Amino acid sequence: MTSPLPFTPDLSVKPEVAAFFDDATNTVSYVVKDPSSKACAVVDSVMDIDYAAGRITYDHADQIIDHIRKNGLAVEWIIETHVHADHLSAAPYIQEKLGGKLGIGDKITVVQDTFGKVFNEGTEFQRDGSQFDRLFRDGDSYTIGSMTAYAMHTPGHTPACMTHVIGDAAFVGDTLFMPDGGSARADFPGGDARELYRSIKRVLALPGETRLFICHDYGPNGRDIKWETTVAEERSHNIHVRDGVSEDEFVSMREARDATLDMPKLIIPSLQVNMRAGHLPPKEEDGKTYLKVPVNGL
């Protein structure tokens, strides 16, 4: 049987992972460090927004920047696992301060096309992913110091979702939650529950001891927030997709559940900013920046 993985994982590489939890959006951002050098990558950073006030700040990103500076790290990559719909990315802010190349899955073009229409963007909004430095395809590799990282296309939550596998660690974005959290919704434009199931199965084909780092946790049933699990734990305990749950069972559960969910509070500002790689829309004639609300457009 051929492996469902487009690369061979190397469990002897054990990146050092620092997590930064954002209380406002329940997002976990990561700094992933090469143990044998000062090289690191930042995964899924957060820009703070008070949407009611239209105010943007950078407290969460500044914590990450402080950590990187304090430890003398060199940022080689700033990775977005996908176009997030529930928080704004701080990637350009971090890149401006610390450098590094900004990467996302190449299906970003599909997301840009969809939401370029939703927000009635003009021709100055490029739908070719050119706001990013690198567009990853399934199986692509890149390096962080001496470590080789692999991008694996894991669509379903969104078309552009990628899981990044670095040694014995995998950054799954919203493909999977903690075992008692299950999986992320698959009902955004371009989402697909069946595709999500197949993507999850690819992630769960990684070796059992692979550390999985998830992008969101909501502390189900009152437990403390957690963000790290393993492939083996997910395969035995994930409430939506543990071993033995069939594709059809998963799809009916996921679709029934998605039908009950409200839109994320920050979906409108998040998509407008994240489809631009974390940049705000261009300034208008008065020199100010505005975010749009499409009425009945989502």
Q: Candidates 76-84, 118-126, 226-234, 272-280: pick the segment binding Fe ion (CB under 5 A).
A: 76-84
Length of the chain: 298
Q: Which is nearer to Fe ion, 24 or 98 (CB)?
A: 24
Span from 112-120, 133-141, 173-181, 289-297 in contact with Fe ion (CB under 5 A) = 173-181
Minimum distance of Fe ion from residue 124's CB (angstroms): 26
Nearer to Fe ion, 140 or 174 (CB): 174
Count of beta carbons in the 10 Å neighbourhood of residue 29: 24
* CB closer to Fe ion, 158 vs 210: 158
Q: Residue 157 Cβ, how far from Fe ion at the closest point, in Å? A: 6
Q: How far is the CB of 161 from Fe ion (least distance, A)?
A: 8
* Neighbouring-strand partners of residue 1: none
Relative orientation angle of helices 267-274 and 108-118, to the nearest 10 degrees? 120
| Side-chain half-sphere CA neighbours of 79 within 13 A | 32
Comparing every residue's Cβ against Fe ion, the nearest one is 174
| DSSP structure string for 24-71 | TTTEEEEEEE-TTSSEEEEES--BEEETTTTEEE-HHHHHHHHHHHHT
What's the count of helices (H) and strands (E) in the chain, helices before strands?
7, 14
Contact status: 76 vs Fe ion (CB under 5 A): no
Joined together, the tokens standing for residue 227 give: 């963000």
Q: Which of 5-13, 46-54, 125-133, 169-177 is the region at the interface with Fe ion (rule: CB under 5 A)?
A: 169-177
**Smallest distance, Å, CB 145 to Fe ion?**
28
The span of 78-86, 98-106, 140-148, 282-290 binding Fe ion (CB under 5 A) equals: 78-86
Q: Please report whether residue 174 would count as binding Fe ion according to CB under 5 A.
A: yes
Query: Smallest gap, in angstroms, from Cβ of residue 142 to Fe ion?
Result: 22
What's the number of CA atoms in the CB half-sphere (13 Å) around residue 215?
28
Single-letter residue type at 275: M
Query: What is the contact surface with Fe ion in residues (CB under 5 A)?
Result: 84, 174
